[in-house]
């Protein structure tokens, strides 16, 4: 009798231990297990790599905090001639997707991406998915620094807010394709960004209306305003920088001086990324105002500042350009430029 009771107690203890063990395993599984488990993998953020700062900011406004984002071309660095460094190759090797402008802007970066990306990673090109063909009204543009004979179109599509909107739409689709669990989050961020683009577009149109029609002419050092000008009815009458991104010849400078005088251009615009004494010389000899702060790939302020955004860059440019050409930049007073993505 004593023996049977002892054996029963032993069996009950074993059953109890097994029950507790099963309970612990169930709770552990429900909580997601350790960081190396399959649930941990499902919570891993997309690793996204981009190129120039404006594109990086557009992608940030769609991906928000649900992606890990790296822009490999530093602010203020010429994207046309940028040469990737060893750390960029490592960043690309860890990327899930690489979003680039395309249109032959980032030749070296694209090559390094192709050499280092994982087989499962993807390369997405924004420009080629936004425009096609070379119709002067709707397609890629060839002009002063990007002649048709060279085969490379002007790649600065993002300077046109409507194309920036398309870039954002493409980004939302690509992020959703690779991370469907966060599709609604990306779509919500796209809607918020779209509101900001509408506001920016309206302000540019209002400011343009204050500039005399005869003054709606741009002569810039770097040829990056073609798509913006086409959108808002301006003319780009020239670019100081030659197609090989060198300094212009004496003959080129003389021709530009004659053109500015003939067309009575009130202001010419330099570039923070391409500082050049030639632009100052042209301004002196034509009595045109010289504005040296226009930017096409460096948002204002420090990284992390509220104004360091794509919208902030365009708003800042308008505040420089419009008054210099006889207009009123009041539509950009207290203009909201901060990021719009949800936390």
Task: Answer whether 141's CB lies under 8 Å from 154's CB.
Answer: yes
Q: Give yes or no: residues 214 and 328 share one domain.
A: yes
| 33-51 as b/e: b if 16+ CB within 10 A | eeeeeeeeeeeeebbbbbb
Q: Structural domain of residue 66, as residue ranges?
A: 46-151
Q: Do 140 and 205 reside in the same domain of the chain?
A: no
Q: Which of 83, 117, 151 is the endpoint of a domain? A: 151
User: Is 266 a domain residue?
Assistant: yes
d(CA 8, CA 196): 74
Quote the pLDDT of residue 36.
39
Residue 34: band (very low, low, confident or very high) from pLDDT cuts 50, 70, 90: very low
Closest residue by Cα to residue 196 from 60, 87, 305: 60
Domain count, the chain: 2
pLDDT score, position 84:
93
- Clarify whether residues 105 and 207 are in a common domain: no
Indicate whether 142 and 199 sit together in one domain. no
Residue 28 placed within a domain: no
Single out the residue of 130, 134, 132, 126 nearest to residue 102, CA to CA. Answer: 126
Q: Kindly give, in sequence order, each residue whose CB lies less than 8 Å from that of residue 257, ignoring residues fewer than 6 positions away.
A: 282, 285, 286
Let me know whether 93 and 202 are in one domain: no
Q: Are residues 210 and 303 in the same domain?
A: yes
CA-nearest of 216, 232, 191, 192 to 314 is 232
Judged against a pLDDT cut of 70, whether residue 335 lies above it is answered with: yes
**201 and 328 share a domain?**
yes
HSE-CB for 152 with a 13 A CA cutoff: 16
Distances (CA, A) of 215 to 37, 263, 324: 64, 9, 10
Q: What's the mean per-residue pLDDT of the chain?
A: 88
pLDDT tens for each residue of 92-149: 999 999 999 999 999 899 999 999 999 999 999 999 999 999 999 999 999 888 989 8
Q: Do residues 315 and 200 lie in contact, with contact meaning Cβ atoms separated by under 8 Å?
A: yes
Q: Does 221 fall in a domain? A: yes
Least confident of 163-172, 222-231, 277-286: 277-286
* 323 occurs within a structural domain: yes
In a domain? residue 278 = yes
pTM of the model: 0.86
Rg of the chain in Å (alpha carbons): 27
- Classify residue 238 by its DSSP letter: E
Assess whether 199 and 327 both reside in one domain.
yes
Please list the residues that pair with 268 across neighbouring strands.
290
87 falls within a domain: yes
Residue 232 included in any domain: yes
DSSP assignments along 187-224, one per residue: HHHHHHHHHHHHHHHHHHHHHHTTS-GGG-EEEESS--
H or E segment and range at residue 50: strand 46-50
Residues 285 and 224 in one domain: yes
Q: Among 151, 186, 211, identify where a domain stops.
A: 151
CATH code where residue 225 lies: 3.40.50.1980
- Say what the pLDDT of residue 93 is: 97
Instruction: Give the percent of the chain with pLDDT over 70.
Output: 87
Confidence of residue 42 (pLDDT cuts 50, 70, 90): low
Domain assignment present for 281: yes
Report how far residue 289's alpha carbon sits from residue 276's, in angstroms, rounded to the nearest whole number: 15
């Amino acid at each position: 009798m004593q023996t049977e009771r002892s054996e029963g107690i032993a069996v009950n203890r074993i059953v109890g231990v097994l029950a507790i063990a099963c309970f612990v395993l169930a709770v552990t599984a429900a909580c997601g297990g350790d960081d190396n488990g399959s649930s941990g993998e499902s919570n891993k953020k997309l690793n996204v790599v981009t190129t120039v700062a404006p594109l990086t900011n557009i992608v940030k406004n769609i991906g928000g905090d649900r992606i890990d984002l790296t822009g490999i071309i530093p602010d203020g660095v010429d994207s046309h001639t940028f040469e990737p460094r060893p750390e960029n190759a490592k960043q690309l090797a860890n990327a899930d997707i690489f979003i680039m402008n395309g249109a032959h802007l980032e030749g070296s970066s694209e090559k390094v991406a192709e050499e280092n990306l994982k087989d499962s990673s993807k390369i997405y090109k924004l420009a080629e998915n936004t425009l096609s063909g070379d119709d002067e009204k709707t397609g890629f543009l060839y002009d002063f620094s990007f002649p048709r004979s060279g085969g490379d179109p002007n790649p600065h599509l993002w300077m046109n807010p409507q194309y920036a909107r398309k870039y954002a739409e493409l980004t939302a689709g690509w992020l959703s394709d690779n991370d469907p669990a966060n599709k609604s989050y990306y779509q919500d961020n796209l809607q918020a960004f779209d509101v900001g683009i509408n506001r920016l577009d309206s302000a540019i149109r209002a400011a343009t209306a204050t500039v005399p029609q005869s003054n709606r002419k741009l002569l810039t050092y770097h040829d990056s305003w073609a798509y913006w000008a086409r959108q808002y009815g301006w003319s780009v009458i020239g670019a100081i920088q030659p197609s090989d991104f060198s300094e212009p010849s004496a003959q080129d400078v003389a021709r530009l001086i004659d053109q500015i005088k003939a067309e009575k251009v009130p202001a010419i615009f330099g570039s923070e990324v391409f500082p050049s004494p030639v632009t100052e010389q042209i301004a002196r000899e034509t009595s045109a105002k010289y504005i040296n702060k226009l930017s096409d790939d460096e948002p204002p302020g420090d990284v992390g500042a509220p104004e360091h955004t794509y919208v902030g860059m365009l708003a800042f440019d308008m505040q420089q350009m419009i008054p210099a050409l006889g207009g009123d930049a009041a539509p950009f007073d207290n203009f909201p430029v901060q990021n719009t993505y949800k936390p």
